[in-house]
């Protein structure tokens, strides 16, 4: 009689990293949701790059688990996801080289490859800054790691949670006010490439893509057509 070995329950790990400016001081953050509860990790470096922080976040997440663990790694970095799932096999076959030269960040790539090979890892790409709770939390942890690297926050300082909407407690005998209407919005279609630039810019600014676009529009309206033309031509916004 043949018995089927039950599949291992996967722990979920969110990993995110960033740098501001790039290159410059950066941080990484990890949120792990497993049988032992939630674990949060963060750290940073005073002189690094976005890609190195994204790789470091994934490495720190996998390092938390012993060999043989079943994990789902969720990252918003296509660079990390594709490096592991598409590109590494070819790089290793060529002695960790690409068609144009040595693989960049090779020591981190090799460490990530070894950790991945020793574990049962499912790699999942998640779109950043779209309200995914785990991804948003990892992003806040990465920002905290950057502050720690710069000496702006102690390692023991808790990472603030995302702002919560305060509850309205009704006063006895007083009729509750109706909720404020939702802000009116207009959908605007933009080119996919521009959308990716917006996502990257929003991440560096620590804003949601919507808030980043709103701020950019307000700046453009304040500058006016002539000011915008001068900025695009490489000059000053002031006449």
Higher pLDDT, 107 or 217: 107
Annotated catalytic residue, options 128, 129, 136, 145: 129
Q: Mean pLDDT of all residues in the chain?
A: 83
Annotated catalytic residue, options 27, 76, 134, 136: 76
**Predicted confidence band of residue 212 (pLDDT cuts 50, 70, 90):** confident
The answer to whether 17 is a known catalytic residue is yes
Give residue-wise pLDDT tens across range 181-200: 544 555 565 555 565 666 66
- In whole angstroms, give the CA distance from residue 155 to residue 24: 20
Annotated catalytic residue, options 18, 139, 145, 227: 139
Residue 167's pLDDT is 43
Residue 182's pLDDT is 46
Give residue-wise pLDDT tens across range 218-228: 787 877 787 77
Give residue-wise pLDDT tens across range 109-128: 999 999 999 999 999 999 99
| The token pair that represents 106 in the structure block | 């090779």
Residue 217's pLDDT is 82
Residue 18's pLDDT is 97
Give residue-wise pLDDT tens across range 134-185: 999 999 999 999 999 999 988 777 776 665 444 444 455 555 455 445 445 5
**Predicted confidence band of residue 229 (pLDDT cuts 50, 70, 90):** confident
Give residue-wise pLDDT tens across range 22-58: 999 999 999 999 888 899 999 999 999 999 999 999 9
Is pLDDT of 6 > 90?
Answer: no
The pTM of this model reads 0.67
Annotated catalytic residue, options 18, 54, 134, 145: 54
């Amino acid at each position: 009689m043949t018995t089927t070995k039950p599949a291992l329950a996967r722990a979920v790990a969110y990993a995110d990293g960033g740098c501001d400016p790039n290159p410059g001081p950066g941080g990484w953050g990890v949120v792990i949701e497993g049988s032992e509860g939630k674990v949060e990790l963060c750290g940073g470096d005073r002189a690094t790059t976005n890609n190195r922080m994204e790789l470091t976040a994934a490495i720190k997440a996998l390092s938390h688990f012993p060999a043989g663990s079943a994990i789902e790694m969720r990252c918003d970095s296509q660079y990390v996801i594709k490096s592991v799932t598409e590109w590494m096999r070819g790089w290793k076959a060529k002695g960790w080289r690409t068609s144009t030269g040595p693989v960049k960040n090779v020591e981190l790539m090799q460490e990530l490859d070894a950790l991945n090979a020793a574990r049962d890892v499912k790699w999942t790409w998640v779109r950043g800054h779209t309200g995914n709770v785990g991804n948003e939390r990892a992003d806040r942890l990465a920002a905290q790691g950057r502050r720690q690297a710069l000496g702006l926050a102690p390692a023991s300082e808790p990472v603030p949670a995302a702002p919560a909407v305060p509850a309205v407690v009704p006063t006895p005998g007083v009729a509750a006010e109706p909720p404020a209407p939702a802000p009116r919005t207009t959908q605007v279609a933009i080119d996919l490439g521009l959308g990716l630039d917006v996502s990257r810019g929003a991440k560096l600014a620590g804003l949601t893509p919507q808030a980043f676009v709103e701020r950019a529009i307000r700046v453009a309206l304040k500058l006016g057509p002539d000011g915008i033309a001068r900025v695009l031509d490489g000059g000053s916004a002031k006449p």
